[in-house]
Amino acid sequence: MKFVIIGGDAAGMSAASHAKRSRPDLEVIVLEKTTDVSYSACGMPYIIADKDRNLEDLIVRDAKTFREKQGIQLLTGHRADHLDPLSRTVTGETAEGKGFVLEYDRLLIATGASAIIRDLPGVNLPGVFALKSLEDGRRIKGFIQKNKVKRAVIIGMGYIALEMCEALRTLKIEVEMIKSRPVFLPWMDEKMSGVIKEELGVHAVKLHLGHVIEKIERDEDTFHPVNLKLVCSDLEIECGMILVAMGVKPNSHIVSGTAIKCSVNGAIAVDKRLRTSDKIIYAAGDCADAYHVVTGKKTWIPLALRANMAGRAVADNICDREVSLPGVAGTAVFKVFDLEVARTGLTMEESKKSGFDPEAVVVQTHSRAHAHPGGSDIWVQMIGCRQSKRLLGVQMVGKEGVAHRINAPAVALHNQMTVEEYSHSDLAYAPPFGPVWDPTLTAANQLVKKLKT
């Protein structure tokens, strides 16, 4: 059997490796349009910030290892352009411009996602970047070093934007962030997002909310090799570099013109076995949708763990080991200078849109027992449903004890626990790591009372 995979990063290479281990006789062919495979994209901001390291440090396993040690036919520089499910073929072009046609018995689409770039005048000027691929990271790091950038503007205030904000400040670059919407983090409780805004202020980051960007210009009146100007109707900012960090979109264009169905945000629709509407074609990773474990409905939340997990599941399924994935809770964590920020499940707005009658509490407690030195505040928002009493979502902010603590409510969401059931959970306690009542238990106890009123 010939198993063809389009895309050589998390989902694609996880599927290729697991399939080859499970069935050494399987012919596994991977088409990757770039020369980079199997790398930790989430680590790019931290490598960019470190003058002594380069982006190659993020490569988990190089192409040579996949080819020589695992027997995978990894074809880098091969861009897949067209899919024909009727003839079971993929056509495309190599980096040298040579066309190819490849037949398959089973196919995995693992094309990932790409950065959202607005059709903005000047967005293609030198010094304007997005950060999605390893090559993007190389270009950004090289540009900063070559041009000795002193000031940067980040368009957007999401996960990548905030992580890159810290990276740039680590390099002593002045940073201003801008977005068109007037609310800083619309998915987060205002009190908790205020803690993050305060942290940005401590590190001299300027925020510009509610400014619609009109264009980017090159300022020819300076002697600096690259000097850019971000122009809004009511604001102009000069800088040496601009990072566009407005989110990502699924790379699902390969199924355009076929009968393969798409769903949320244009992501490729898959069932719990990762099969598309064509049952010999699978999709996994950031190009595919998933079921949300709270709502039971389709969602699109690009996550690294899900991509790796889905790739393995596809390999099991084509090797006749039936595996179904229940879905995602949207569990995520990111760092903003000294803060850890985490979330899982639904926000208040998402809960309402999904048909729940949500109630929430926000508690401010401590990362360690009150008598133990070195602790700091932790803020927890917990959301539950008035009718079913189910736990719907949790958000957390603090300087320590947040990143891994979010995993407990994530597991509770996967098991559809009520808030009261979670409040009875036997969680670990020791003074250096938390108070006797874990912050999430404190929030749950408060929410149980509120749901009963």
Distance of alpha carbon 72 from alpha carbon 16, whole angstroms? 7
User: Has residue 440 been placed in a domain?
Assistant: yes
Residues 6+ away with beta carbon under 8 Å from 441: 422, 423, 425, 427
User: Has residue 368 been placed in a domain?
Assistant: yes
Distance of alpha carbon 102 from alpha carbon 382, whole angstroms? 50
Per-residue pLDDT in tens (0 to 9) along the chain, 453 residues: 999 999 999 999 999 999 999 999 999 999 999 999 999 999 999 999 999 999 999 998 888 999 999 999 999 999 999 999 999 999 999 999 999 999 999 999 999 999 999 889 999 999 999 999 999 999 999 999 999 999 999 999 999 999 999 999 999 999 999 999 999 999 999 999 999 999 999 999 999 999 999 999 987 765 566 689 999 988 999 999 999 999 999 999 999 999 999 999 999 999 999 999 999 999 999 999 999 999 999 999 999 999 999 999 999 999 999 999 999 999 999 999 999 999 999 999 999 999 999 999 999 999 999 889 999 999 999 999 999 999 999 999 999 999 999 999 999 999 999 999 999 999 999 999 999 999 999 999 999 999 998
The verdict on whether 319 is a catalytic residue reads no
CB-CB neighbours of 87 under 10 Å: 10
Q: Which of 42, 165, 239, 385 is catalytic?
A: 42
Tell me, yes or no, whether 235 and 132 share the same domain.
Answer: yes
- Residue ending a domain, among 202, 226, 244, is 244
Contact (CB, 8 A) for 352 and 415: no
Tell me, yes or no, whether 183 and 198 share the same domain.
Answer: yes
Tell me, yes or no, whether 215 and 301 share the same domain.
Answer: no
Distance of alpha carbon 447 from alpha carbon 445, whole angstroms? 5
Contact (CB, 8 A) for 262 and 252: yes
Tell me, yes or no, whether 258 and 194 share the same domain.
Answer: no
Residue type at 294? V
> What is the helix (H) or strand (E) element at residue 13, kind and residue range?
helix 10-22
* Distance, CA of 270 to chain centre: 19
Count of all residues that appear for the chain in the document: 453
- Residue ending a domain, among 244, 279, 300, is 244
Range of the domain at 188: 128-244
Residue 106 dihedral angles phi and psi, to the nearest 5°? -135, 145
| Residues β-bridged to residue 279 | none
- Per-residue pLDDT, 118: 86
Tell me, yes or no, whether 81 and 24 share the same domain.
Answer: yes
- Per-residue pLDDT, 73: 96
Q: Which of 245, 264, 293, 276 lies closest to 390, judged by CA? A: 293
User: Angle between the 304-318 and 10-22 helix axes, to the nearest 10 degrees?
Assistant: 30
Tokens of 35: 């020369």
Distance of alpha carbon 419 from alpha carbon 359, whole angstroms? 11
Tell me, yes or no, whether 360 and 447 share the same domain.
Answer: yes
Contact (CB, 8 A) for 30 and 13: yes
Distance of alpha carbon 395 from alpha carbon 409, whole angstroms? 10
Distance of alpha carbon 340 from alpha carbon 183, whole angstroms? 20
- Per-residue pLDDT, 228: 94
Tell me, yes or no, whether 101 and 187 share the same domain.
Answer: no
| Residues β-bridged to residue 340 | 335, 398
Distance of alpha carbon 370 from alpha carbon 434, whole angstroms? 9
- Per-residue pLDDT, 225: 60
User: Has residue 64 been placed in a domain?
Assistant: no
Tokens of 62: 């190089």
Tell me, yes or no, whether 198 and 135 share the same domain.
Answer: yes
Q: How many domains, in total, are found in the chain? A: 3
Tell me, yes or no, whether 20 and 83 share the same domain.
Answer: yes
> What is the helix (H) or strand (E) element at residue 146, kind and residue range?
helix 134-147
User: Has residue 257 been placed in a domain?
Assistant: yes
DSSP 380-407: EEEEEETTT-BEEEEEEEESSS-TTTTH
Contact (CB, 8 A) for 52 and 145: no
Tell me, yes or no, whether 233 and 253 share the same domain.
Answer: no
Q: Which of 59, 7, 11 lies closest to 302, judged by CA? A: 11
Tell me, yes or no, whether 132 and 239 share the same domain.
Answer: yes
- Residue ending a domain, among 183, 218, 244, is 244
Contact (CB, 8 A) for 70 and 61: no
User: Has residue 136 been placed in a domain?
Assistant: yes
CATH of the domain at 165: 3.50.50.60
User: Has residue 48 been placed in a domain?
Assistant: no
Tokens of 151: 């000031």
Q: Alpha carbon of 442 to those of 231, 424, 438: distances in Å?
A: 47, 11, 6
User: Has residue 100 been placed in a domain?
Assistant: yes
User: Has residue 324 been placed in a domain?
Assistant: no
Residue 193 burial by CB count (10 A; 0-12/13-18/19+): exposed, middle or buried?
buried
